[in-house]
Amino acid sequence: MTADVVCVSPDLAVEALTAMILERNISGAPVVDAAGRPVGVVSKTDLIREQQAAGDDQETERLVTRRQGFESGPGFHAERITRATVGEIMMPIAFTLPETASVSRAAALMALEGVHRVPVISEEGKVVGILSAMDILRWLAETEGYLVPRGGASAE
């Protein structure tokens, strides 16, 4: 489990989420309410899906603009303002595990639900960590004696 988990708010702008994911080199994050309790999970896949939908909207806007005969003069352009938030693109269900859950229980939950990361919660229901499929693979390799570096294919 990664204890230094990055959590985000549902009202965070998608652009800010994208920047954070790239800056921190993470693939997703739990979405939490004001009390720190999980309300969903957002991932790179959710971002790609939102960008694809936004691209379709932009093409529709270009077609409508042409049909209405709108033309801006030299030096002007129209740009779509994205107002999407994390709450609009996240998976609104957060499958969670208690801190005391076994690795096999975590793997079973991930396989059953088809998810790659699961927030780990305290007895109070607050996120205290995140467990990814890669964490489980790393743990399996290490229990067999393999040295697996954290965060990539090569040792630092």
What confidence tens digit (pLDDT) does each residue in 90-122 have?
999 889 999 999 999 999 999 999 999 999 999
**Spatial separation of the C-alpha atoms in residues 30 and 11, rounded to whole Å:** 13
Query: What pTM value is reported for the model?
Result: 0.74
151: left (phi over 0), alpha (psi -120 to 50) or beta: left
**Residues in a beta bridge with 117:** 132
Q: All domains of the chain, ordered by start, with CATH?
A: 14-143 (3.10.580.10)
Q: Which residues contact 85 (CB under 8 A, 6 or more apart)?
A: 10, 11, 12, 13, 14
Instruction: Name the residue among 108, 106, 104, 128 with its Cα closest to residue 118.
Output: 106
